[in-house]
Amino acid sequence: MFARMTRSPAGSPPDPRGKERFNEERAAYTVASAQPDLEAGVAAIRETAKTLRPVPGVYRMLDARGDVLYVGKARSLKARVPNYTQVKALSNRLQRMVSQTRRMEIVTTNSEAEALLLEAQLIKRYRPPFNVLLRDDKSFPFILLRGDHAFPRIMKHRGARRAKGDYYGPFASAGSVNTTINALQKLFLLRSCTDSFFANRDRPCLLYQIKRCSAPCVERIDKDGYGELVRQAKDFLSGKSGAVQADLERQMAKAAEELDFETAAILRDRLRAATFIQGSQAINASGVGDADVFALAAKGGQVGVQAFFIRGGQNWGHRAFFPTHTQGVEEDEVLADVMLQFYEEVPPPPTVLVDRDLPERELIEQALGEVAERKVAISVPQRGDRRKLMQQASRNAAEALDRRLAETGTKAKVMREMAEFLELEDVPQRIEIYDNSHIQGAKAVGAMVVAGPEGFVKNQYRKFNIKSAQSNDDFGMMREVIGRRFRQLAEGNAPSDLSSDDDRPPPPKGEDRDGANPPPLGEGDRDAQRRGGGGKSGHETTWPDLVLIDGGKGQMSSVRETLEELGIEDLPLIAIAKGPHHGREGREVFHFPDGREKTLPVNSPVLFHLQNLRDEVHRYAIGAHRAKRSRAIAASPLDEIPGIGPARKRALLLHFGTASKVRAAALEDLQRAPGVSDAVARKVYDFYHAGG
């Protein structure tokens, strides 16, 4: 039913030959892509090579749009870069890269190790289509023992490690961190509350009652006693768990001898918590100390890497990675690239165990040593406990890859069936789903989420602050969102609405990692650019293959009319409504642009997939609305006064009590407020009494 899409200038009648011309242009582009312009790429590389010196550095290949195609490092730039002009000696993959190269950028470094680290950093930043990419944007969680308070707090931490204190990790998931912290609270009775909560307590909280905190906030333990608990916790997390347990056993025996059975029972519970932490380690890593273990498995053209995180001889979890753009790359190079990108976010341990020899192993050791500011050793275990640990990692890598391939096969089948049900020409590579959220028109927010063959593309989610639609006008809100999304796309420009006016999402930090950066089907091809591959954020110049609307006939009519006004025809468009009985799951009705309606069986995998897409945009829209509402609740009327900073607002509120009293105050009263100058007082007074 759906053609790809044809576009005519906004306000003009549809061109009956628009579809035909579009297909002709597409065919011509395909022919041009099939005959890559190697000469232009080689000429651009030769032009850059003329200016290079025999020094270490990093080079970037750029295409005609300025998007980064590839990032590489070299011991000698003058010797390395000209190799790309020897076309016959290059693989097909590199020939495609050279054919698209139109410019190069060079950065020199002081050493090859520094170039290696910079290369990994730039790959993570630009995500070039010809580099091996570690598809995992979610940062790893750590346990943090704060060091900026007399009674340190234990907490989960993600992101930059700016806070003062001791960090322990990485852990494979937030769940493993939470479980460990809960057990550590039972074992060492450390506080987990915020500093403000701590400072305002006048009696112990519930955690003290359930024996998970020693209540330093109300002096149930002195500073020295709490410091001893902190020392024991550091020893335990650093691998000295045996000494900590032995000390607890001695204290428990002593309390029992003195007939202090209450203390003995508390110590018994703490020992049980220690046993739980050690017993929850699914992998025997005793004697390994601090180490990371990496094993690679390859099958069916895909690669999986399994990583175990061992700290203090304890297994702190494991995670499987599935890097992309690995076709034509040696497996040992893939593993090396994955490790370097992984350690861009995580500090390397003293020992890294791998299942194969790595190219430039000594150079990688030197680079990781510079990051860790100590020696880092990479080795392939040959015998003993480390060899057994590596065998277990290799087995887990193979099993994780098998599961991945099975899931991918099932997902591909569901996508094909979905395309057939929705009457699409082909399986959609980019799906955009839209919804809006508000309370009786207040704080209205529109939302767009993006999904691809690999799952949700969270770095391309967008929020729209509704501006022109009337309150309670759901149809008008949807018209505004769709209009802002597609208006400048239809005109062939990057939409300034989105880039300058709308709220962009924070870095993804949800539990679902699938689809954070779906791989393009063909490296460097036009379809990859249409789906947002390359160096740009994706939505600015990217047309979707399918648009899903959370709504019924009304929303469908609004969106269809808006697209027609923009001259966009035959864009695959579906509206999902919950049907006549909104409370009954599985009764969704799918509305087509021509007015037809279709349903799916309640146990259909395609229905589950479409429901998942609809529920994700619903979740994202509600979250955006709640955040906007929370900001409005927390806002102060004093925020409206231009030129008045936070310190002056705080001084006024402390002196007068409320914003309404500031508004009603006389000029002389404002001038008497501490920390408020005569000029500031006059500005505040004039703001509220202008024209009066």
Alpha helices in 422-543 (DSSP H): 474-491, 496, 526-530
Helix axes 92-100, 38-49, angle to 10 degrees: 80
Lowest-confidence pick of 394-398, 541-545, 555-559, 646-650: 646-650
**DSSP E strand boundaries for 556-641:** 568-569, 573-577, 589-591, 597-598
d(C-alpha 648, C-alpha 638), whole Å: 10
Helix or strand run (H / E) with residue 379? strand 377-379
Q: Is-contact 535 69, C-beta < 8 A?
A: no
pLDDT, position 75: 93
pLDDT tens per residue, range 219-278: 899 999 899 889 888 887 776 666 677 777 777 887 787 787 777 777 777 777 666 555
Residues whose CB falls within 8 Å of the CB of residue 597, separated by 6 or more in sequence, listed in order: 589, 590, 591
Mean pLDDT of the chain: 79
d(C-alpha 570, C-alpha 592), whole Å: 11
- Short-list 454, 457, 425, CA closest to 539: 457
Lowest-confidence pick of 26-40, 157-171, 446-460, 633-647: 26-40
* pLDDT over 70 (residue 623): yes
For 462, phi then psi, to 5°, come to: -140, 145
pLDDT tens per residue, range 429-458: 999 999 888 665 566 888 899 998 878 888
**Choice between 190 and 629, residue whose per-residue pLDDT is larger:** 190
pLDDT, position 253: 80
pLDDT tens per residue, range 549-563: 988 888 899 999 988
- Short-list 135, 28, 59, 97, CA closest to 524: 97
pLDDT, position 514: 35
pLDDT tens per residue, range 19-60: 444 444 444 443 344 344 888 999 999 999 999 999 999 999
pLDDT tens per residue, range 124-143: 889 899 999 887 656 788 88
Counting residues of the chain whose pLDDT is more than 70, the rounded percentage is 78
pLDDT tens per residue, range 488-517: 777 654 333 333 344 444 433 333 333 333
* pLDDT over 60 (residue 279): no
Helix axes 361-372, 112-126, angle to 10 degrees: 80
* pLDDT over 70 (residue 72): yes
Q: Is the dihedral of CA 561, 562, 565, 569 positive or negative?
A: negative
b/e per residue 118-142 (b: at least 16 CB within 10 A): bbbebbbebbbbbbbbbbbbbbbbb
pLDDT tens per residue, range 366-423: 999 998 888 999 999 988 888 988 999 999 999 999 888 887 778 888 888 999 999 8
pLDDT tens per residue, range 584-602: 455 789 999 988 899 888 8
Q: Residue 77: helix, strand or coil by DSSP? A: helix
What pTM, to 2 d.p., does this model score? 0.64
d(C-alpha 476, C-alpha 506), whole Å: 27
Q: Is-contact 172 393, C-beta < 8 A?
A: no
pLDDT, position 540: 56
Domains of the chain: 36-126 (3.40.1440.10), 142-279 (no CATH), 291-405 (3.30.420.10), 422-632 (3.30.420.340), 637-689 (1.10.150.20)
- The arithmetic mean of pLDDT across residues 306-334, rounded, is 87
pLDDT, position 284: 56
- The arithmetic mean of pLDDT across residues 102-117, rounded, is 93
pLDDT, position 471: 62
d(C-alpha 622, C-alpha 599), whole Å: 26
Task: Enumerate the β-bridge partners of residue 303.
Answer: 298
Counting residues of the chain whose pLDDT is more than 90, the rounded percentage is 27
* pLDDT over 50 (residue 304): yes
Residues whose CB falls within 8 Å of the CB of residue 347, separated by 6 or more in sequence, listed in order: 371, 372
- Short-list 546, 590, 569, 565, CA closest to 484: 565
